[in-house]
Amino acid sequence: MKPFTYERATSPAEAAASAVRVVDAKFIAGGTNLLDLMKLQIETPKHLIDVNGLSLDRIEPLSDGGLRIGALVRNTDLAADQRIRRDYALLTRALVAGASGQLRNKATTAGNLLQRTRCPYFYDINQPCNKRQPGSGCAAIGGVSRQHAVIGSSDACIATNPSDMAVAMRALDAVVETVRPDGVTRVIPIADFHRLPGDTPHQETALAPGELITAVTLPKPVGGTHVYRKVRDRASYAFALVSVGAIVQKDGSGRIAVGGVAHKPWRVEAAEAAMPRGPKAVAERLLSGAKPTKDNSFKLTLVERTLGAVLAEAKG
């Protein structure tokens, strides 16, 4: 690990200001992803800003019936919260499908949204990777790409977003709250938060330099049956090959977001109109324009079958 300096921030605005004042600074909260990346020298920050003391660890009701989740709420606490379990069960189900109990005890809401891809070539510093080192190439294109994206990818990067929580947040229409280094706050709909790779796969989110996530808000509950199904190579502690999060209403309408297929949680609202016609109709619209690799075309079938299982489970 490379040497770095360290500070404890005392306010969100101060943390954001510090992040642009010091060159190569990074925020740290749970550290469940960042510390691994630092040990492998994939991330080499010169300065860490510890945001754990910022009192952003509460889940509060909003006047419109929604909830405001502080950026530092741990994944375990979020999954166990009675309001989340009752009204946003999709989020609880997605959270408990991710990582391990120990990691969920440390991992935060904001950190989960910001976790980096698990593309194996990204983690091997002997391999070209445009995300790790812009302009170096992409070892996954033409390499082993079974886990990679089938839609929304580019000639620069075919990585997937690994977060289960983000898939649920996308279906729930969450909104990310931030503060910028100049102290100005803003809100970013989750649909716009994660980016597709394009020719800048190292830029993964809509955050500006130094911008700090302070909370995630959920709109008022929409009811329905919430189902999250994650298909992976082993039963626990593995990332999704494909995951499907769905909210299904009694009349068969609803919402669907998919993980493991793109650089961001994948949701196509127009495809949801096809839900009463079944999984094949939804999958055709959801994955329209997909470009799988020779290794991962099975994901197209897997999405349709997982969707079928989810819709059947929702119907009971």
What long-range pairs does 231-239 form, CB within 8 A, spacing at least 24?
231/260, 231/302, 231/306, 236/100, 237/99, 237/100, 239/118, 239/147, 239/162
Question: How far is residue 283's CA from residue 152's CA, in Å, rounded to a whole number?
Answer: 15
Question: Rule CB under 6 A: is residue 157 a binding residue for ligand SF4?
Answer: yes
Q: Which is nearer to ligand SF4, 88 or 121 (CB)?
A: 121
Could you tell me which of 191, 204, 197 has the C-alpha nearest to residue 269?
191
Instruction: Choose which of 122, 193, 239, 266 interacts with ligand SF4 (CB under 6 A).
Output: 122
x/- contact string, 190-229, with ligand SF4 (CB under 6 A)?
A: -----------x----------------------------
- Planar angle of CA 106, 165, 51, nearest 5 degrees: 40
Question: Rule CB under 6 A: is residue 150 a binding residue for ligand SF4?
Answer: no
Instruction: Choose which of 13, 119, 167, 207 interacts with ligand SF4 (CB under 6 A).
Output: 119
Instruction: Choose which of 140, 215, 248, 314 interacts with ligand SF4 (CB under 6 A).
Output: 140
Region of 114-122, 178-186, 239-247, 277-285 interacting with ligand SF4 (CB under 6 A)? 114-122
Q: How many CA atoms lie within 13 A of 67 on its CB side?
A: 21
Question: Rule CB under 6 A: is residue 131 a binding residue for ligand SF4?
Answer: yes
Return the SS3 of 138.
strand
For the chain, what is the largest distance between any 2 Cα atoms, rounded to a whole number of angstroms?
A: 58
Region of 138-146, 277-285, 289-297, 299-307 interacting with ligand SF4 (CB under 6 A)? 138-146
Question: How far is residue 94's CA from residue 125's CA, in Å, rounded to a whole number?
Answer: 31
Could you tell me which of 263, 265, 275 has the C-alpha nearest to residue 245?
265
Site for ligand SF4 in 158-187 (CB under 6 A): 158-159
Could you tell me which of 35, 48, 38 has the C-alpha nearest to residue 7?
48
Count residues near ligand SF4 (CB under 6 A).
14
Question: Rule CB under 6 A: is residue 299 a binding residue for ligand SF4?
Answer: no
| Location of structure tokens 């510090």 | 18
Q: Which is nearer to ligand SF4, 138 or 274 (CB)?
A: 138
x/- contact string, 49-88, with ligand SF4 (CB under 6 A)?
A: ----------------------------------------
65 Cβ neighbours under 8 A, 6+ residues apart: 219, 220, 221
Q: Which is nearer to ligand SF4, 128 or 308 (CB)?
A: 128
Binding site for ligand SF4 (CB under 6 A): 117, 119, 121-122, 129-131, 138-140, 157-159, 201
